A = this chain, B = another copy of it.
């Protein structure tokens, strides 16, 4: 009954086996290897377009590098005031950009509110010296509250950004979960909706540690800049084949979507068990996370029973399922609650 985080899960065997398979003979370093080429091709197939990539081992690195590629040190990134880049990355975006600002907007379920965004971009003035103008809009899907944006919701926000001359970044640490629950295709949810740069997570969904920074369309012109920044930040490890092998295995035969579906299903069952026991959902369960306001005493009783989960900043408690969550864990949890 470990619902502490999807990062607590082990790696999927198929991914580890792919690393083993890649460990054969000499191979060029720093991304010039055939596994890296194959990973890029797999991502092209999945996203139905040409694209450039860089692979890193943590989501913080992916987001910070992506933002630094899009935003100058004297610019700002618009994001939700609960976004991971604001709350959980210890100022990595500020570090990688050389001191850019995050401009925070509200919105239910950690989705950026359209009205607030409209007002913010309308007031954005690139030629005013004193304030810091936004250069990027950063969205997260799943959001930090476990909610999904549907493609049109991404698109309408991206359209506002684009009109104001902003680039669009999508933190997709849990994109697989959002795609499964919305039924959208990878292309629909990203570049077709106006996303310029996607941080595409695999770590939380079965990888050892692998996230792809994906540049779409005009943003591909920044590929060289992205690589330079990665090198300079220690995110160009010599044996890149081991990152690439993870990504290819993750995508092969739809493994990534199967794993996300499994996690989402677990979360749905867990949410059902909680609400039946009197808890109230704080946010939509659009992926593998459940945020629930628990009746008095329930948190303590669940902890005492061995369940692991965390209190959240909004007064609810967060329960996270992963690809490795066993149905038996959910059953035990439900049984305990009932």
Contact = CB atoms under 8 A, between A and B. Distances in A.
A7 B28 CA distance: 8
Given A23-B13, A28-B8, A238-B209, A232 B324 contact: no
B23 A8 contact: no
Q: How many copies does the complex hold?
A: 4
Contact of A10 (B23, B61, B104, B132): B23
Given A98-B98, A101-B91, A16 B19 contact: yes
B24 A10 contact: yes
Given A10-B27, A58-B236, 15 more contacts: A2-B26, A4-B26, A8-B26, A11-B19, A57-B234, A58-B235, A74-B95, A74-B228, A74-B232, A88-B130, A90-B231, A91-B101, A95-B98, A97-B99, A101-B102
Interface residues of A, number: 73
A231 B236 CA distance: 17
Interface of A: 2, 4-5, 7-11, 13, 16, 19-20, 22-30, 56-62, 64-65, 73-74, 76, 87-92, 94-95, 97-102, 104, 127, 129-132, 203-204, 208-209, 224, 227-229, 231-239, 242, 308, 324
